[in-house]
Amino acid sequence: MVSLIDASLNPAGDTALFTDRQWLEALLRFEAGLADAQAGAGLIPPTAAAAISGACAAVEMDRAEFIECSRRTGALGIGLVDPLKAYLALHAPEALPYLHWGATTQDAVDTAHALLTKAALSALLEELEAMERALCTLARDHAATPMLARSLMQPAQLTSFGLKCAQSAAAFRRSINQFAVLAPRALCVQLGGAVGNRAALGKQAADVERRLAGALGLWVCGYSWHTQRDAWIRLGMEAAVCAGSMAKLARDWSLMSQFEVGELAEATRGRTSSAMPHKRNPVYCMQAIAQTQAVPGLAAALLGAMAQAHERALGEWQSELTMWAPLWRHVHGAAAALRRAAEGLRINTVRMQAHVDALHEVVFSEACAKAITPVAGQGPAQQAVEGLAAQALAQGVPLSGLLLNWVEAHYGALQAESVAPALARATDQQRAVDGSAACCALLLETLEAPSHTRLEPEMTP
C-alpha cells in the first residue's frame, strides 16, 4: 500500500503500478499460461491444462497467507503453488502432477515482474509522449523568444526559451527511442527451470516458451536470465537516465519560477502555502524533484545486485525485487508532474526581455571583443571589454557605446567609425537569438516524426 506521504507527492497516485493484487494476478497468469503452452506443445494432457487454468481463475489468493508462506520458506513460488495444489486436490487431482511442471519460483516471479513492468513502461511512455508534445508546442511558440542563457548560474549569452524546451523534448524522445530498443530484450518470458537449462522441458522448451510468450504478450529471448540480468537492468537504467533528464528540467523551471527571476509560473491552482496566502509555489516541479531524488540510489543498488552467484542468487535477486517497483513508480510520478507543469506553464516574455536589457549588452561581450579586435588586437580588445563591461553595468549604459568611445580615444574617430557596424551586429539581439531559433527548428524537425514504443510483440505462428 502506498503511504500517505508517497501519495501526496505523486500527482499520478491513482495509477496502480506493481500492486499486490497485480502481482498475484500476474503470477496466476504465468501458471495458467505455462500449462496451456505445455499442452499445446504436447507435454501435458489438455485436460490437465484446462484444470490448472480453471484453478488459477477460481482460487482467491490470500495476501497474508502468501506472505507468511513465502517468508517462512524463502520461495515466493510456494506461496503461489500451495493454494493451487489444494484446489486441484479437491477438484481435479489428476492435474496435480502437471502444475508448475518444469518451472521454478524465479520463472514465475520474473515473468510476472516482466508483465508488471510492461504495464509500468506503458504508463510512463504515455506521460513522456504527452510531455514531449507539450514541450514541442512551447518550443514552436517560443522558438525566437529571447532569454538569458545561464552558465554556472550566471548570465552567459542569449538563447531562446523555445530552444530550451526543444532540447528537453529531444532528451525525452531519446529515452522513448531507447525504451523501444530495450523492451524486446528485457520484457521476456523467464523459463529456465531449476538451474536455467530447461532440462525438464527437453526439446519442446523453445516451443513452450514461444507459446507462453504469445499468451502473455511478452517477448521470447531463448535463454534463461535467472542470474544474467544485463538486459533487464539496462531497461531500469534507461528509466533512471530518463529521471535525470526530468530532474534537470524541473530544476531549471523551478529556478526560473523564483520571484526574483519571474520568467515562468505554473498554472494557478489556488493556495499553495499553509501560512503565506500570497505564495504560488511551483508544486509540480517540487513533486518532480522529490520523485527523482531517490532514483540514483535505486539505480546504483540495482547495479550492485547484479553480482548473483552461480545459477541462483542468494539475496541479490531478492533485493532487486524490492527496488525495481519504487524505481518505476518514482520515474512515472516525476513524468506525470512535469507533464502537468508543461501543459499549464505560463511564460513571462516581458520579464525574460527585461533581464536581457538589464545587462546593457554585456552578454555580447565575446562578440564585442571580436568586433574591435581588427583595430585593437586580441589582447587589448579583451581587456577593454572586460573593464568596460563592469562600467556598463555600474552606469547602466550600453557596452557598445562605451567601446566606441574607447576605440575613438585610443585609435581615432576613423577607426571608431570602421568598427561601428561590427559592434552593431555584435549587439543585435535578433541576430543573436536567430541562432537559437534555427537550432530549435532543427530539433523540432527531428521530433516531428511520430514515435511509438511497441509493447506488443509480433507473434509468429
Return the active site residues: 273, 312
Query: What cell does 47 get?
Result: 485436460
279's CB contacts (< 8 A; 6+ apart) are 272, 273
Q: Which residues contact 225 (CB under 8 A, 6 or more apart)?
A: 110, 188, 190, 192, 231, 232
| Torsion over CA: 204, 208, 210, 211 (sign) | positive
Do 247 and 337 meet the contact criterion of CB atoms below 8 Å apart? Answer: no
Neighbours of 124 (CB within 10 A): 28
Whether 176 and 450 have beta carbons less than 8 Å apart is answered as no
The DSSP symbol for 362 reads: G
Q: What angle do CA 189, 243, 315 make, to 5 degrees?
A: 50
CA dihedral 48, 49, 51, 56 (to 10 degrees): 140
What are the strands, taking DSSP E only, across 117-237?
146-151, 154-160
Whole-angstrom Cα distance, residue 275 to residue 282?
A: 16
Q: And the C-alpha cell for 216?
A: 502473455
The set of residues, in sequence order, having a beta carbon less than 8 Å from that of 319 and lying 6+ positions away, is 301, 305
Read off the amino acid at residue 27.
Answer: L
Rounded to the nearest 5°, which phi and psi values hold at 265? -155, 140
